[in-house]
Chains A and B, each alone.
Chain A
């Protein structure tokens, strides 16, 4: 890991350790002091500009560099549009637009988009943390051309029924003010980028779940012994560890160069592997926690709900298995060639 990444990771760790807890997750209000403090510290530390080019006032880091930061944020169960803002600012920076000094959230699920002068109307779906952000970045297609558009929040927000982890909203917008709008460069694939963020977050959440399992089973006693001494429990937790380790290793596909964040093969492999792992980790971690894990008060469920949400986004792992299988078959290579290129 580069030294500058270690420094950033350390700064991020301190802020999240100080400000993020399960109370915040359960009582997340835009006007709460706890949220405002966290937001202020994150924005003032410039962490949301890590991927912004240096000439635009950012840190100029690469997508590969921020993998451990996305992972850390997920380990903490950070319930704010922190990563969404990092990615939004990155996309703006790629378009040579200056970053925003506020939280931004983003989506690529849009319908009925109409642009008139400097106003945008349409339906925007599944926007995470829209209650905590004032601006929205969208990727949308108009007349066979993809655009990236940043606009001010407004209109009617509707909280989606979801897995009860991060709040997601649908927005019916009428003539909201566009801040910037550019054609999307061909080399950027927003959907793959967002999928990869979810795979990294899933890995981070699973690491946290493993930690919770170890801590819980090392403290709780039944039949006169701590749970961790039961072989069946050890078996469950070692299986969780196995899945976590494999998920982490699958992210290697993203690390060769930043283009891999847009590449179908390197996106599909961790999407599938973390999706498979998530299913197993959710089931096993709840099993080892017993009824306690099923409560709202104990934090396990926050992370398992997040995993359920992320593994079902942008097509689940089974959908992606099919895509990957076809990607290989259509290339007319033998499997070993496909794996090595």
Chain B
């Protein structure tokens, strides 16, 4: 009767050693390069030099084949590295999307040329990607995208607008979901294709959008009759929807869905571990239990991806449970500080708390809203 299985996966000694290696590397690199940990670093903290260092260590493109510059390591090894980077608040935003999902899409659907051209650069931390899914009129309803790729004698001509593309201003490429056939209302998921678009091409215009925290990390990307070669098509023409669903599983299931603000929790504990009230300690115990459970779920999905299973629904669980957790984290920190007035907090802790509080509303929007996640779960349960 088990509806959604999250198999128990053990962290073996190899993975434990890898954790220690990453920790040592981060300590040394942070010190020697004066890097300061940041919350939500995978969205807000880009440092191409740091990304390159990770590439040199062999910690990007972990699961890609060696012949394309990958490391042929497991998804579990990648998971461990990802967790350690998030927990340290490392500046990973530049390469995050390329390493998490774009590279895997190219490995899975790309041509030999695309793989040879791009994967080695992703693995060395020198090629960054943005996501080209949402549009001004297509948020949660992804099948309604209007960006159109028209077939030409030389390839394709791309016209349209993408929005909320995190890091597009720093990226080399965007995987764009576009219509290659007119919308058929009876079969809305057909006629879509994915394209590998070089963001330096003529006709591409990137306009930063300031978010409510006054930061410019996401963008509007306009495609004004952008000429694409035939080989810009990623995967099969008309199979964009099927391809994008797999990509979303990679996007939704990782530990960034619940560790984005971990350093806030860690810093709070470091500062006030001996000043917490009984109520604060009780709230802390709750958050520990929930966090450890989420880690088990996400780790289990990494294993499922490694085993070529399709954990799309399990990914929706982690995304949604992660959203709930991170929102709760802010309230938990407030409970934990019930006897510690805000005025007593260090300025760095206050700053982390304020940033997290302001950024939290985005968590249940980016990568698919809570409503979409619950819709996916309902569909799987046969309610739709």
In the complex, chain B residues 260-297 whose Cβ is within 8 Å of any chain A Cβ? 265-266, 269-270, 273, 276, 278, 280-286, 288-297
> Which chain A residue has the least Cβ–Cβ distance from B336?
A325
State whether the Cβ of A53 lies closer than 8 Å to any Cβ in chain B.
no
Q: Evaluate whether A242 and B320 lie within 8 angstroms (CB atoms) in the complex, with A321-B286, A322-B285 already known.
A: yes
Cross-chain contact A238 with B381 (CB below 8 angstroms): yes
Partner of A239 from B276, B314, B374 at Cβ < 8 Å:
B374
Partner of B297 from A211, A249, A268, A272 at Cβ < 8 Å:
A249
Which stretch in A163-171, A176-184, A252-260, A299-307 binds the other chain?
A: A252-260
In the complex, chain B residues 342-384 whose Cβ is within 8 Å of any chain A Cβ? 373-375, 377-378, 381-384
Q: How many angstroms from the CA of A269 to the CA of B19 in the assembled complex?
A: 22
State whether the Cβ of B10 lies closer than 8 Å to any Cβ in chain A.
yes
Q: How many angstroms from the CA of A11 to the CA of B1 in the assembled complex?
A: 16
> Which chain B residue has the least Cβ–Cβ distance from A340?
B19
Cross-chain contact A322 with B276 (CB below 8 angstroms): no
Cross-chain contact B10 with A256 (CB below 8 angstroms): yes
Q: How many angstroms from the CA of A273 to the CA of B270 in the assembled complex?
A: 25
Bitwise, B292-333 to A at CB < 8 A (1) or not (0) is 111111001000000000000010010011001000000000
Partner of A321 from B1, B282, B383 at Cβ < 8 Å:
B282
Partner of A276 from B286, B291, B377 at Cβ < 8 Å:
B286
Cross-chain contact B87 with A336 (CB below 8 angstroms): yes
Interface residues on A, range: 35 or more
Cross-chain contact B266 with A334 (CB below 8 angstroms): yes
Q: Is the interface of B mostly helix, strand, loop or mixed?
A: helix
Cross-chain contact A269 with B377 (CB below 8 angstroms): no
Among A233, A272, A334, the most chain B Cβ lie within 10 Å of the Cβ of A272
Interface size on B, residues (CB 8 A): 51
> Which chain A residue has the least Cβ–Cβ distance from B284?
A325
Q: Which residues of chain A come closer than 8 Å to B3, judged between CB atoms?
A: 207, 210, 241, 244-245
Cross-chain contact A249 with B381 (CB below 8 angstroms): no
Cross-chain contact A324 with B288 (CB below 8 angstroms): yes
Bitwise, A46-83 to B at CB < 8 A (1) or not (0) is 00000000000000000000000000000100000000
Cross-chain contact B374 with A246 (CB below 8 angstroms): no
Q: How many angstroms from the CA of A233 to the CA of B273 in the assembled complex?
A: 42
State whether the Cβ of B30 lies closer than 8 Å to any Cβ in chain A.
no
State whether the Cβ of B4 lies closer than 8 Å to any Cβ in chain A.
yes
Q: Which residues of chain B come closer than 8 Å to A276, judged between CB atoms?
A: 286, 289-290
Bitwise, B209-223 to A at CB < 8 A (1) or not (0) is 000000000000000
Q: Which residues of chain A come closer than 8 Å to B286, judged between CB atoms?
A: 272, 276, 317, 321
State whether the Cβ of A85 lies closer than 8 Å to any Cβ in chain B.
no
Q: How far is the CB of A205 from chain B (nearest CB, A)?
A: 11
Q: How far is the CB of B302 from chain A (nearest CB, A)?
A: 13
Cross-chain contact A269 with B381 (CB below 8 angstroms): no
Cross-chain contact B288 with A335 (CB below 8 angstroms): yes
Cross-chain contact B374 with A238 (CB below 8 angstroms): yes
Cross-chain contact A268 with B285 (CB below 8 angstroms): yes
Q: Evaluate whether A211 and B1 lie within 8 angstroms (CB atoms) in the complex, with A238-B374, A249-B300, A320-B285 already known.
A: yes
> Which chain A residue has the least Cβ–Cβ distance from B281?
A325
Q: Which residues of chain B come closer than 8 Å to A153, judged between CB atoms?
A: none
State whether the Cβ of B8 lies closer than 8 Å to any Cβ in chain A.
yes
State whether the Cβ of B33 lies closer than 8 Å to any Cβ in chain A.
no
Q: How many angstroms from the CA of A234 to the CA of B19 in the assembled complex?
A: 40
Cross-chain contact B265 with A335 (CB below 8 angstroms): yes
Q: Which residues of chain A come closer than 8 Å to B28, judged between CB atoms?
A: none
In the complex, chain A residues 221-272 whose Cβ is within 8 Å of any chain B Cβ? 228-229, 233-235, 237-239, 241-242, 244-246, 248-253, 255-256, 268-269, 272
State whether the Cβ of A328 lies closer than 8 Å to any Cβ in chain B.
yes
Q: Which residues of chain B come closer than 8 Å to A246, judged between CB atoms?
A: 290, 293-294, 297, 317, 321
**Residue positions of B touching A, CB distance < 8 A:** 1-6, 8, 10-11, 16, 19, 87, 265-266, 269-270, 273, 276, 278, 280-286, 288-297, 300, 314, 317, 320-321, 324, 373-375, 377-378, 381-384
Q: Can you give 5 contacting A-B residue pairs, CB < 8 Å?
A: A250-B296, A325-B281, A325-B282, A334-B266, A336-B266
Knowing that A269-B293, A321-B284, A336-B87 touch, tell me 12 more A-B residue pairs with CB under 8 angstroms: A207-B2, A208-B1, A237-B378, A238-B374, A246-B317, A246-B321, A250-B289, A272-B285, A272-B289, A321-B289, A322-B281, A336-B266
